[in-house]
Chain A
Amino acid sequence: MSQEAFESVVSAHHGEIFRYLQRVIGHAGDADDLSQETFLRAYRAYGSLPGEANLRAWLFAIATNLAKNHFRSETRRRRAYGEMRASMRETVETAPEAELVSRETGALVEGVVRRLPLKQRLAFTQRKIHGLDYEAIGRSLSCSAETARAHVFQAVRKIRQALDGHGLLPEEPER
């Protein structure tokens, strides 16, 4: 493997993987650590990667696996929720008034996403934020593409339910 080749992998994908982990972990420091570990692991295995492999999906799979391991610790999970709530308050309180409504909805969606069961959260973030296909998501979660799709749909249902009453839509007039 050449140094230049892996340099280009880092250049192309580090930002996205970092962002993905930040979304699913909720704690910037931990997300940074895990994104580092993702690329260090990738570097170790890069030489054995088949030429036709989907590099991006492979990196997401490594990052997802690390995120799953990370959340096996209940303490970390609690800390992540705490930080997420604090960050939501800060976001809403300091935003200019004009942006408040849309940012509030976005922050609420993020908040709901972070409270989703882990597999739903990982599947939803990969699909809806990063646009991966269900095959790739299934591989990263060790399940079928169908199951990955079911996780995403379940997540969307829960987000809708959770946002009910937060003015997603204007009230319809009585008929």
Chain B
Amino acid sequence: MSEKPAVCVRIEDDLLAAAMGEAASSAAKRVERHLTTCVSCRREFQEYRAVDGAVTTLRKEPPPVGSLTQSRERLETRLADLRNRLLIYRIFPSSLGHILIARSELGISLVEYLERGTSLRASRLSHEPSVETVEGGADLEAIYRELLEYLEGRRRRLDWPLDLRLARSDFQRTVLQATAEIPYGAVIPYAGIAQEVGKASATRAVAQALRWNPLPIVIPCHRVIGSSGALTGYAGSKIDIKQRLLSVEGVPTAKKAGVLGITPQTMYILYPGDREYCLPTCPSLHTRRPSPLTRFASREDAESVGLSPCTACRPDLHPISH
């Protein structure tokens, strides 16, 4: 077998590139000149062109329609299932410790204080068989920034779309929805929420539902307190966090006889169903049936939700001095 001439070996790569239409113009010209004098390279070039042509016919070949359609249908089904199960999460540092934020396609589904570590293993998500988790989501950064603004008192609302599917029951979901309505700077007793959801005697069940609130801060269960004004529980035993969240909103708290609670004498009062807010000393309150009261840290907080000052006790003329 005869050896290829050196000139043909040197031009081999350019020849192939030219046959595939990928050679730079200088290389293509060099190949063109060489092909006018070299029969064997010309044949090689034509063979490469023929291979390229055969590949072009393959490229145009359509996929088998039946199997493609079936594959697409199967994919749609599996994607729908994944969409239902998938949660994108990230873990962020905050002044309240590490917080995990997770979202589904429907909205934010979990805000969790991590106690036992800074990874997913410390989260309740690692024990949720119904969900699949994946870390990431640049959009969660924006959510986190809003949360920080809220914790620093620079934001009063967290208007995120929420996904309550991690709630444990319809009752818990109803309780969470009622709790989400408590205004900024206000507190209400557990009994008030029980009344709100139409189960006035279910105070303990309400407390239990809020203990497992999957969206603390966003659904402000920290604004729900005991009938005595005691802060009672928060996400287990994190009562210090509850106090910090309330103080961000300007709700005054103090320890009395070793129990941490709000200071009711320094807060404005809303009787259920009223559109006017009162001073705690309002004479009208003494004539009415005892009922769970909503209390506001400031007149601005009360008026920001459309309430007016009571025309009897006139909190606008006699504001509480803090």
Task: State the A residues within 8 Å of B (CB).
Answer: 1-3, 6, 10, 14-15, 18-19, 22, 28, 32, 35-36, 39-40, 43-45, 47-48, 102, 105-106, 109-110, 128-131, 153, 156-157, 159-160, 163-164, 168-169, 172, 175
**What is the distance, in angstroms, from A106's C-beta to the closest C-beta of chain B?**
5
Q: A15-B68, A43-B82, A43-B86 in contact; A169/B51 too (CB < 8 A)?
A: no
Which residues of the partner chain A approach B44 to less than 8 Å between Cβ atoms? 160
Q: A2-B105, A10-B75, A153-B13 in contact; A40/B51 too (CB < 8 A)?
A: no
Which residues of the partner chain B approach A160 to less than 8 Å between Cβ atoms? 44, 47-48, 51
Cβ-closest chain A residue relative to B137: A47
In the complex, are the beta carbons of A129 and B79 less than 8 A apart? no
A10 to B74 Cα, complex, angstroms: 12
In the complex, B142 has a CB within 8 A of chain A: no
Chain B residues with a Cβ closer than 8 Å to the other chain, count: 42
Q: A156-B20, A160-B48 in contact; A109/B58 too (CB < 8 A)?
A: yes
In the complex, are the beta carbons of B47 and A40 less than 8 A apart? no
A129 to B19 Cα, complex, angstroms: 16
Task: State the B residues within 8 Å of A (CB).
Answer: 13, 16-17, 20, 39, 43-44, 46-48, 50-52, 54-55, 57-59, 61, 63-64, 67-68, 70-72, 74-76, 78-79, 82-83, 86, 88, 105, 132, 134, 136-139
Which residues of the partner chain A approach B58 to less than 8 Å between Cβ atoms? 106, 109-110, 129
Cβ-closest chain B residue relative to A6: B79
A124 to B78 Cα, complex, angstroms: 31
Can you list 21 pairs linking A and B with CB atoms under 8 Å apart? A1-B105, A10-B75, A14-B72, A18-B68, A28-B67, A32-B74, A35-B75, A40-B79, A43-B79, A43-B82, A45-B136, A47-B88, A128-B55, A129-B59, A130-B59, A131-B59, A153-B16, A160-B48, A160-B51, A168-B47, A168-B54
